[in-house]
């Protein structure tokens, strides 16, 4: 795979060789890479995405089950498409139309469809339909949710649309698909809803957990006995998430939510925290021979760049870290949550509040909450900017544009903007002040690690916690 890949927001983009799905014209079935089937080469067509195979009339293999495997969309695509795919992932087409998506991107729906067809082999609607159908199939396998709940949890606008699309993608009705699930698929939950978060192994769980434990927001997040927990807000109502290590190729998520509608987006955001959809092979391959990063990769194979549940949370943490060391940041986060967060009683595990929204923080007396004047002023400016512009941290722009927008907030430094960008999934984000020894003489910090500087920075940060993450 080429080293010229880059990530824009949460969409992974690689330029060069890419993972392809193989479809067999004689059987009408498509498989993910690594499936054990051995068709004749002349009978095979390849597609860059499962949705493209489905749009061409192929159904998923029952042996390798492509819908159960996480993975990035990997292709050389224009910036506009990166933004469009990111909007689809967060639900722009669950109830909206291609015309509305095009208007949001300032292009015609015809031009948008042309781009998608040329680069991915599907229209935006077909990509969104495939994502919803694949997630619904996982719910039918893993859970005992009624079919109607599965429909709305997966982002479908109606049960009728759900039935139609499941028949189109999988050639069977939802209840028929549930009847086909394997005995080991069903996850029994003693409270809440349990789902698998699949990843391409390995994944270094201890290192991720140590990173998250050090940065856990008091009252909102906790890491205890190998389990990550946090509170979340869904339309103002509280929920609880628990994630733990499970099999060699998946984590287990237990979700306690006020409703199941839109569960697909909750699971997507949880997956970002742990990088389950990330393809780290190109970064590991590119940096394996580096004298500084190579040994760190060998020590912690499968380490992902930790993501985030809430972009504003990460931005707040980064701003506080601009002025204080980690122990003091933790105290300030606790004070902010106590002053502005919504209380959630009875959860246990040290979880007591929801993290406050940007709008709430903007109207909070931060100096009264104990923050120093300079810290309070910068945090207030950040909160006002995020409240005014809900796209500030949406990850839909290129790294340079993102950094420019964040650094425009009064008081926010370049390194703080990079710290935010790193956690939001920008592959080349690199907070240079955190890694001063990585600067080449007269050159840019970490220049030899481009375009994987975030990956390198994560390994350097983990090296500071050897007792916890080795």
C-alpha 89/C-alpha 299 separation (Å) is: 33
C-alpha 280/C-alpha 301 separation (Å) is: 10
Any catalytic annotation for residue 149? no
| The one catalytic residue among 31, 61, 64, 82 | 31
Q: What backbone torsions phi and psi does residue 16 show, to the nearest 5 degrees?
A: 130, -150
- CB 246 within 8 Å of CB 169: no
Any catalytic annotation for residue 428? no
> Which is nearest to 463 in space by CA: 338, 314, 299?
299
| The one catalytic residue among 190, 249, 434, 437 | 434
- Which residues are designated catalytic? 31, 434
């Amino acid at each position: 795979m080429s080293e010229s890949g880059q990530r824009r927001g949460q969409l992974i983009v690689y330029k060069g060789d890419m993972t392809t799905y193989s479809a067999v014209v004689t059987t009408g079935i498509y498989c993910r890479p690594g499936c054990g089937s051995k068709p004749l080469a002349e009978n095979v067509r390849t597609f860059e995405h499962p949705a493209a195979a489905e749009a061409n009339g192929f159904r998923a293999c029952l042996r390798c089950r492509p819908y159960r495997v996480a993975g990035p969309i990997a292709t050389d695509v224009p910036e506009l498409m990166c933004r469009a795919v990111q909007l689809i992932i967060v639900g722009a087409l669950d109830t909206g139309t291609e015309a509305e998506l095009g208007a949001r991107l300032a292009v015609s729906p015809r031009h948008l469809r042309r781009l998608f067809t040329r680069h991915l082999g599907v229209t935006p609607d077909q990509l969104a339909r495939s994502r919803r159908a694949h997630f619904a199939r996982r719910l039918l396998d893993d859970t005992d949710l009624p079919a109607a709940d599965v429909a709305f949890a997966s982002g479908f606008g109606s049960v009728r649309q759900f039935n139609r699309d499941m028949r189109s993608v999988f050639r069977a009705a939802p209840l028929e698909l549930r009847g086909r699930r394997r005995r080991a698929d069903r996850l029994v939950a003693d409270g809440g809803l349990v789902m698998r978060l699949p990843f391409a192994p390995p994944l270094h769980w201890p290192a991720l957990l140590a990173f998250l434990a050090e940065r856990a927001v008091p009252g909102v997040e906790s890491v205890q006995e190998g389990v990550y927990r946090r509170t979340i807000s869904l339309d103002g109502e509280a929920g609880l998430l628990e994630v733990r290590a499970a099999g060699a190729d998946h984590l287990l998520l237990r979700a306690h939510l006020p409703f199941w509608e839109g569960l697909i987006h909750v699971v997507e955001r949880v997956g970002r925290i742990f990088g389950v959809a990330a393809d780290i092979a190109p970064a590991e391959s590119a940096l394996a021979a580096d004298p500084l990063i190579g040994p760190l990769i060998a020590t912690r194979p499968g380490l992902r760049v930790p993501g985030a549940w809430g972009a504003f949370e990460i931005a707040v943490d980064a701003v506080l870290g601009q002025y204080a060391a980690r122990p003091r940041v933790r105290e300030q986060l606790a004070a902010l949550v106590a002053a502005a967060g919504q209380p959630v009683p009875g959860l246990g595990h040290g979880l007591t509040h929801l993290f406050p929204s940007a709008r709430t923080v903007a109207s909070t007396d931060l100096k009264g909450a104990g923050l120093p004047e300079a810290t309070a002023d910068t945090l207030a400016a950040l909160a006002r900017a995020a409240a005014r512009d809900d796209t500030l941290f949406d990850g839909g722009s290129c790294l340079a544009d993102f950094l420019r927008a964040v650094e425009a907030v009064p008081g926010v430094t370049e390194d703080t903007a990079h710290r935010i960008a790193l956690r939001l999934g920008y592959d080349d984000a690199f907070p240079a002040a955190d890694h001063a020894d990585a600067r080449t003489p007269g050159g840019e910090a970490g220049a030899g690690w481009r375009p994987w500087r975030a990956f390198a920075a994560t390994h350097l940060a983990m090296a500071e916690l050897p007792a916890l993450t080795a």
